[in-house]
Structures are given as structure tokens and as C-alpha cells.
Amino acid sequence: MRAFEIHTFTGGKWKIDSVFDDRELAVFEAQRIDESSRYAGVRVVEENFDEDTQKTTARTIFRGGRVENDANRRHPLPPQKRAPGTAAQRGGAAGPARGAKRVRKSEKSNTALVIMLTVILVGGLAALTALHFLPRFV
């Protein structure tokens, strides 16, 4: 089953505006909303529900709005494979938090990697130095 949700960005979060089963209609309406400048951002999210796997995949097929790109950066869509539901319900208030969490987690793991490499490098240099000076004391 396929649905095209129009989301509008208002009050700092994405909200479902309307739902279509027709891509052309959804994108046309989103463009119309975009041109009205009524909302800071507008996007169309295509949702595909796979009845076999009971999973929904979502992807943004239209982006508009003056600050929409900025809003998308700060409030991205959740990961692609998710449980049934609506994109904005998952991505509106909860999605951005999860997105931010993912970024923080990624930053943490990068820091840990740098520390680990530094320890290995310093340890290796120490070992080499020790091996260099060790014969003088034996």
C-alpha cells in the first residue's frame, strides 16, 4: 500500500497536512502550499507498506519552503525501515530527537576511535623507544 503524506513545518516541528494516494496530486498540492508561503517548510513523504514484511519504508519525494532545508537538517526523517504508522507521527516530534541522538552517537564513536588510535600510537612509540634503549642496559 502506498501513500503520499504532505508535511508542513510549523511551530518547530513537522505536522501531517494531508494524505493522498496519488503522487501527482500530492506534489501539486505541496507546490501550491509552498507557493502560498503559509508554512516555513513543506515536503511530500512517500510511504510504502509491505504487507509481507509488515514494514513501512518512507522517502521524501518533494522538498519546498524557504527554511525547509534548514528544518530538514535539524529534523530529518527517521530511518527508512520502520513499523507501520505515519511518517510525521513518527518523525514529527519523536523523529528529530532520534535523528539528533544518532548524530550524537556517531560523534561519540568517532571520539572514542581517535582516543583509541592515539593510545595505540603512543604505546607503539613507547615500545619502540624501549626496544631501542633496552640493549644498553642489558
Partner 1 sequence: MDSLTDATERQGTGDELPKGMERRLVLRLLSYWRSLSEDGVLPSFAAIDPSAMKDMWESCFVLDIVGHEADPVFRTVGAAFAEHSPIDLVDRRVSEARANTLVYASVSYIHEVICKGVPISRGGEFYKADGVKVLYRSIVLPMSDDGETISGLLCAANCREAIEG
> Least distance in Å: CB of 20 to partner 1?
5
Binding mask 109-138 for partner 1 (x = CB under 8 A): ------------------------------
The one-letter code for the residue type at 105 is K
- CA dist., res. 85 & res. 57, Å (int): 10
Cβ neighbourhood burial of 64 (10 Å; 0-12, 13-18, 19+): buried
Nearer to partner 1, 18 or 60 (CB): 18
Cβ neighbourhood burial of 87 (10 Å; 0-12, 13-18, 19+): buried
> Least distance in Å: CB of 73 to partner 1?
23
Helix (H, G, I), strand (E, B) or coil at 88: helix
User: Is residue 93 a contact residue for partner 1 (CB under 8 A)?
Assistant: no
> Least distance in Å: CB of 84 to partner 1?
12
The one-letter code for the residue type at 70 is D
The one-letter code for the residue type at 106 is S
8-state DSSP, 78: -
> Least distance in Å: CB of 19 to partner 1?
4
Binding mask 7-36 for partner 1 (x = CB under 8 A): ---x----xxxxxxxx-xx--xx--x----
Site residues (vs partner 1, CB under 8 A): 10, 15-22, 24-25, 28-29, 32, 86
